[in-house]
Structure 1
Amino acid sequence: MTEKGKMLAGKIYDSSDKELAELRTKAHKLSQQYSSLYEDDERRKAILDELLPDHGEGFFLQGPVYFDYGVFTKFGSGCYANFNLTVLDTCPVTIGDNVFFGPNCTIATPVHPFRWQERNMKKKSDGTVYDDEYGKPITIHSNCWIA
């Protein structure tokens, strides 16, 4: 099983995996690009379509936004998020229709081991530093207001 497969299944995975690092970097760049544009800039839609390919119609995210991966988050139709929405989607995040987020909301799927002996940073033989991490999926049903 790949590290990405482990991550999405909620199993302990290596977050330093090359594929995951590339996906995160892409999402961080797209988040930054989106956040740097004004609300009426038509380029925002194309960025969201790439960052969040599984979304409904008529949803709006006020910038700035921050996504760890983006591609593992699904937005329903008619959703709105105010300033500083952060989504750490190491496991699937499913957001129903007509969900509203107030400013500074964070959706965080990552979980770290509770015992420090398992949680502390580790070093691979090549010197790469990593930590053990896993996640739990989050589902927010339709018509919720998170603030």
Structure 2
Amino acid sequence: MAHPLMFDDADPLLRKVRAIALGFPDAAEKISHGHPAFYTTKVFAYYGGSVKVDGVYQQHEHSLLVLPDPDERSALLEEKRCYVPAYLGVAGWVGVDLDADTDWDEISELLDASYRRTAGVRRVATLDARQRP
């Protein structure tokens, strides 16, 4: 049985995440466990996550899950808007709650870091070639 969809395709925060994430070389989107997942060979970001508190999952519907550089992870988790997501947190992933005041430059940087950790050498070289003046 497939997971129910756990997002609204018209969500303006999802549209912003989607525009950034799909701008990376060879990036695509699929639905995984009811949430949008952005990937190349491996997933580099999810939209929406949850945490398990006292045996109950609390949804973070408007959040972005990324795999940051290990050096950045602890600093991110000190911020109130960040959390260790269920299932993926043990592998180093971080959830970032999004809202109207989100710093989209920072979100772009987090997506970039996560992409670089998962996309492979050829795709990262393509990304770097795009960013040169």
* TM-score over 0.5 (shorter chain): no
The structure carrying a bigger helix percent of its residues is 2
Q: What TM-score comes out, normalization by structure 2 length?
A: 0.27
